[in-house]
Each structure stands twice: as C-alpha cells, then as structure tokens.
Structure 1
Amino acid sequence: MGGDKGGRPLARKTLRTELCDLLGIEYPIVLAGMAEHAGVELTAAVSEAGGLGVLGALPMTPDQLDESIREIKKRTSKPFGVDSIAPLGLVESDEPIDLRALLSEDSGDLARIRDYIADLGRRMGIKVPYGIKLGVNNQGFNWSPGMTKKQLEVIYEHKVPVFAAGLGSPEFMIEEAHRRGMKVMGVVGTTRQARKEASIGVDVVIAQGTEAGGHTGKVSTMPLVPQVVDAIRPTAVLAAGGIVDGRGLVAALSLGACGVWCGTAFLATPEAMSHPENKRQLLAATENDTTITKTMTGKTARCIKNPLQEQYEKENGPILPFPVQVLAASELIQYMSAEDDTLKYYWTFAGQGCGLVKELRPAKEVVKSMVEQAVQVLEEGLPSCVEWSHKAAPRRRSK
C-alpha cells in the first residue's frame, strides 16, 4: 500500500454518482458483459475494485451459469450482474434448442454459407479439414427462448442483483425481476430505443455509441448520450462507446450520464478470458484499426480489421442472420494456429478507444486509474484550463 511522506496510507479517491446508490457500488464504472470475455475472474475483480462486474452469460448453459455465479460469490461479496440476450424468436421453443442442427442441412443457404466459409478459410491458409460441416461441430452454442428462461431461473435462484440485456429488450422479464428486487439494464443505440426501454421500467439505460466494440449502432457516443439523457429523464443513463479512461468518464458525466459501461478497457487484463491473440491485437491497435462488419455474427459489430474479414467483404460473401452466422464463422477459429501464421485472422471485438489501451494491467488497476484520472481532471485539469463565473460580466459604458 502506498503512503504519503509521513508513511500514512493514501486516502482512497471518492467518485460517486446516483448510479452508486442505485446499484450499491463505490464507483460509477460498469464492466460490459462481454460474452466469452467477461468471465468469473474479471467480473469478481471489477466488483472487488468498486465497480460493477457483469458476467457475460450468452454462451453458457444453465449449469455453467450456476457454477459461474457460485464462483463469483466465493470471490466477492459485492454486487455484480449477469448479461445475456433477450429471446430472438429464431427458434420458438420453451426448451433449449441446439442451433447446430440448423447447419446440418445439406441444401439451401445454410449449406452454402457453411461451404463458402470453409473454402475461404482454406484459401487463406487455414487448415480446415475436408468433409466437415462448419458449425455442426461448434461447441457450447445452444440458443432459443427456452434457454433464456432456463438462464433466468438460475439468476433468480441466486438473487443476482443486476440483469443486463446486452441485445434485445428485457421487457419479457422485467416485472418478475423487479418483484425479486433486481435492477435491470438495457443497451440502446437510439433515442427511440431508449424511450421504449424507459417506458417498460428499465432501471438503467446504456446509451452505446458506434465507437463501441462488438455489436453496435450508427450514432456516435457524443451526440447519443445527451439526447438519450434528455429523452428519458429521470431514468439513469450509462454512456458506452470509446470510453477507456478517466477523461472519458468525466466526459460521460458532463453529457448527463451517471456512469460508464466499459468493455475494451477491460479486455487487456489478465482476468479477461480473451484469447492471447485478442490481447495482442488490442495492444497493437490504433483508433484507425477497427471496422464495422457483419461477417462474424450477421449483425453489425466493431472489430479490429484482419485479412480474413477483409477478403470476406471483398468477395461479398454470404451473410445470414445472427446467431446462425456465428455458428458457421466462429468454428474457423479452432483451426487457426501460430505455427502456420493464421492466428492473425482471429476475430477481436474492440472499440475505437483501443488506441488508448497500451499495456496489460489487472482489472483493479484499470478501475483505480480511471477513478484517479477522473478526479484529477475534475480537481486540477479543468480548473487549470477553464475559467468560469456565476456572476454576470459588468456592462461596458457606452461612450
């Protein structure tokens, strides 16, 4: 522990907003619930550091989710959340459905995209075995409205404090969540979506600008956040998209948000479950190295550019709706390797703030530095370069 010149421990910085009271946290910093990246360690670490850790539960079965929540509770007694997606209606079923069965068909669009992706991979040097059906072998991607219900049963059983709907509206579960004392968050990219979320009783609306990594919209963070704040006041608003440090946090607060939803800043941490290649690409990237594409998931998503994605778009390769595109495309990853230099094709979701992420740091340090920089900007940075007064300027006498 650090200290002052007299050896006394340094005071812990204070930075509180209404979000802290609403969620029972110390700092207005929320971990974006990134599927397959925001796991147990990262979720617990962010909560322990004073923010709100949010577990990315999308790829998890109910049993896996149950185990993950139990592990988080062993690591922290502080509030945390779980992020998943609202039912998409792709398959209507009250029971979990294995969507891999959709790609087992040998005719139609599904077969064509499966075969195209395999062929493209081979042409790019990826050793995709002949005779396999991409997507059919993909592990751990079962999805249907029934899966959402099963996940929620686990979340309710564990009395998880916060549920975040990273994609889709949480309207289907908000009444029950509130009955159980939970807070519900929803991600939006327009004021129209924000009004809808507020009208159904969402506690926190996340206004995510196009700068964000992963699935994203068309409107930038700077104009989006204040418009959402004005549209749904007094509902709490988090700002998201391009925010990776304390300066971004202060900017978000000045726009009327009561906190931030951050993903990219936490990808470059030891606790993140990201592949080492994801972290390597992130640390090497600049603000010009990201792009928005549908090639990975079937929905617009911001990622770090790579030759495979660029070739896919150059050839105008087929795109199917989310999440079927994910099933076929993501299976290429298991055939990439460092030995044949194909790891460079690894898909890395990241926001335009990636150029500010320079090193691998523990999640605790990310939270701490964000808070300290924000306080420094508020206490010293702005006062040193901005003058203002509450008094009206004296009128000049006319000659």
Structure 2
Amino acid sequence: MGTYTLRTRICDLLGIEYPILLAGMGPTAGGGRGSAATAELVAAVSNAGGLGVLGGAGFAPDALRAEIRRIREMTDKPFGVDLLFPSNAVRPVEAAQGGDPRALIPPEYWEIVKRLKEQFGLPDVRAERPRELRTWRVEDQVEVVLEERVPVLASGLGNPAPFVPRCHELGIKVIALVGNTKNARRVAQGGVDIIVAQGTEAGGHTGRVGTMALVPQVVDAVAPIPVVAAGGIADGRGVAAALALGAEGVWCGTVFLATYEANLYDWQKQRILQATEEDTIVTRLYSGKTMRNITNPLAEAWEALGVKALPMGLQGLLVADLVASARAAGKDELLMNAAGQAAGMITRLRPAREVVEDLVRGAVEVLTHRLPAAVRAEAPAGA
C-alpha cells in the first residue's frame, strides 16, 4: 500500500501496523457455515496490518484449538479470539438436571413456533444438535486460548474480568465490548486492556446508543484505558471520525462480511450488497439478546407478536427447530444474516486486504488533505 502511516497507541499495545480490528463475528444463518470470521479472514486482516479476530463462540474446545492452529499456519502476525460471557444466560443441559432441556420452555412458546411454521409453510423439522445443548462451557474455550497463548482475548458480550489475571500472567491482552458507559466502567474495573464502544448501528448483538454519542462518553468514563469505536464504520471517513471522537482505533464487522474470505453463504453476501441503511432490524428472535440483522420476514413476524423473548440459551433452543425447518425448506430469506447499518455503504465484494488498505488510505486522506482543505480552524493566540 505504499507509505501510508496511521498509528495510535493501540498499534503499540497489540503489535500491529494499523488500528484496524476485525470484529470477531460468530455463527450466522442458523450456524450452517459456522462463524463468519474464521481462519481465512482472520489471517487476511492480520497479514494486512490490522488485528484479525476469530469468532470463537461457536467452536467446541477441540475445534477452537484446531482453528487457532490453522490461523498460525497462515500468519505470524498478532490475532485474537472473540468469546461470549453473557450474564443471565441459561445453560439448558445443566438447568434440566438430567431431564429434557426442551421442557424448560413454556408450552405457549412452542405453540408460537408451530404457528410461525404454519405461517411460512415450513415442514415440522427438529434441530438435530442445537448449539444450546452443548456440554462444554466458555471456561473450556478460555482454557484453550490460554494454552495456545493467543495474543488477544476479546469479549464480544459480557464481562471477562474473571479471566483477566490469568491472561495478563501469560502476556495476553484483553478486549471487552460495551454498549453504554455503565458497562464500560464495569469492565474497566475488571482490568481489561482495551474497551470497544459499540454503537447500535453495529450488526449482531448490539445496544441502544448510537456510536457518535457513545464513543466520547466511554472515552471520558474509562480514561486512560484506550477505546476503540464500533458501529457503522465502513470507510476511511468513519475511521477519521472515530479518531476525532477520542477513539484510538476501529472494530469493523459488516464491511468485512462482504469479502471473499468471509465464511458466509453467497446469498448472505449478496443481501448485504443489496441492502440500504434502512434494511436492518433489531430483534431478540435468534438469541434472546438484541441483535441487528438484515431484515427478514421471520424476524418481522416475531417482533409483530410482541412476545417477550426467553433468556439467552433457552431462546436459541426454542428457535433452533424453526431455523432447521427454514433450512430444510430452502427458505434462506428466513434465516439470520447479522449485519449493521453500514451495509448501505458496501457495494462490491473485495479481498479483506483491500478493505484494510481502503480504511487506512481513506482515513489518512481525510486527516491530511480533505479536512485541512475544507475547514479553516485556528486557535486564538495563547490558547
């Protein structure tokens, strides 16, 4: 890419060339292809000078270890693993205490699933191995990250504080995502190294506060801990704006979904390319937590019911049969396609390296040419 320079202290902290971080995006489309950010995308971003982050939440421990080693076969640069540490989640297998985990779900919710299947003409298919019925725990995944000495552990949801001391003993940096200042202060007290302030514009699990309002408030709340901005950032203008808000880097997901390396179905990538900024919906349908997706009829139908979602774990188990039925019927348009409002800015598939280069080049051009040419700014003498 030539001699473009864009550095903040994030670069020194993580050992990377540019403050561009790949969001550790997990399973989508009902888990049919696994995580969106797998080894190929992670390595491509790291090799381009950013920080690739694996969407590790959907991997069983042995599979996670294998994927980490695949990354190391493709890059010798720093990378991270993103896991989920949700509060108030239910582990159905444990909660059932040897009984049928599905019995934990109230009958009226199964009736809703039945009605939705009828509404969309879906066969009555039962999910064979829902992720929610796994027997391993996030602690087992963390153990793999520690044993493999992954340079960075990221928490895409929840507070990773219990694991920070062991990470730091091994030289592993810890990143935590937050959607408000309350949680930013909480993870800061837990000793994390970097905080990602993610605005509601972001795809996947997201909060209620916009990026423009959230980032400076988190920056002020947790100083001197460095903050990275996320949500709606898909080009160099967004990177420059994030830096102006006090962030020291960006955490980007949606823009990397439209790359050759992203582990999505072709139909998912095409829908992202076709989407406008208004073609997303925030729903609790798929996980019980608020999640932004490309709008689809099933999510709209669920939201129209006005039903309270079940806790995370149970909601996913409830919907697993519904998703399996949609997949069996070949109705891709009903499946989850997590993406943010920045989808409207994305018009073509590209290599991940090109995305990183464009983010850096665009930011440098804004900071060194476009702003100075468009804005005259002078401080009074002595200020």
Q: TM-score, normalised by structure 2?
A: 0.91
Distance 2:295 2:118 in 1: 19
Q: Which ranges of structure 2 fall in alignment gaps of 5 or more residues?
A: 27-34
C-alpha displacement of 1:337: 5.6
Query: Residue 204 of structure 2 contacts residue 293 of structure 2 at CA under 8 Å; is this kept in 1?
Result: yes
What aligned pairs does 1:72-91 form with structure 2 within 5 A after superposition? 72-86=71-85, 88=87, 90=89
Please list the CA deviations of residues 287-318 of structure 1 after superposition, one character each: whole Å capped at 9, or x if unmatched. 11112111121111111111111112223345
361, 375, 378: which one aligns with 1:372: 361
Residue number in structure 1 paired with 2:240:
250
Give the direction of change, closer, same or farther, for the CA distance of 1:142–1:56 in structure 2 (3 Å limit).
Answer: farther
260, 263, 268: which one aligns with 2:250: 260
Residue number in structure 2 paired with 1:5:
none
Query: Residue 100 of structure 1 contacts residue 327 of structure 1 at CA under 8 Å; is this kept in 2?
Result: no
Distance 1:118 1:360 in 2: 38
Given residue 57 of structure 1, which amino acid in structure 2 is its aligned partner? G
Residue number in structure 1 paired with 2:50:
51
SS in 1 for 2:105: helix
Distance 1:363 1:314 in 2: 37
4, 8, 17: which one aligns with 1:13: 4
Specify the structure having the higher radius of gyration (Cα): 1
Percent identity between matched residues is 46
Distance 1:182 1:37 in 2: 23
Distance 2:89 2:379 in 1: 57
SS in 2 for 1:358: coil
122, 125, 146: which one aligns with 1:126: 122
Residue number in structure 1 paired with 2:343:
354
Give the direction of change, closer, same or farther, for the CA distance of 1:49–1:101 in structure 2 (3 Å limit).
Answer: farther
SS in 1 for 2:137: helix
Q: Does residue 1:193 correspond to 2:188, yes or no?
A: no
C-alpha displacement of 1:77: 0.3
Aligned positions, number: 374
Superposition RMSD on alpha carbons, in Å?
Answer: 2.5
Q: Does residue 1:383 correspond to 2:380, yes or no?
A: no
Q: Does residue 1:168 correspond to 2:167, yes or no?
A: no
C-alpha displacement of 1:115: 4.2
Please list the CA deviations of residues 4-30 of structure 1 after superposition, one character each: whole Å capped at 9, or x if unmatched. xxxxxx623211111000000011010
Distance 2:102 2:377 in 1: 69
Q: Does residue 1:307 correspond to 2:303, yes or no?
A: no
21, 42, 46: which one aligns with 1:30: 21
Query: Residue 98 of structure 1 contacts residue 142 of structure 1 at CA under 8 Å; is this kept in 2?
Result: no
Please list the CA deviations of residues 251-283 of structure 1 after superposition, one character each: whole Å capped at 9, or x if unmatched. 000000000111111111121112222212211
Given residue 220 of structure 2, which amino acid in structure 1 is its aligned partner? D
Return the structure number with greater relative CO, CA threshold 8 A, min gap 6.
Answer: 2
Distance 2:99 2:178 in 1: 30
C-alpha displacement of 1:98: 7.4
C-alpha displacement of 1:103: 9.6
Please list the CA deviations of residues 112-170 of structure 1 after superposition, one character each: whole Å capped at 9, or x if unmatched. 423422431232122334xx4xx5x23444557x6122111111111100000111101
Given residue 64 of structure 1, which amino acid in structure 2 is its aligned partner? A
Give the direction of change, closer, same or farther, for the CA distance of 1:103–1:335 in structure 2 (3 Å limit).
Answer: farther
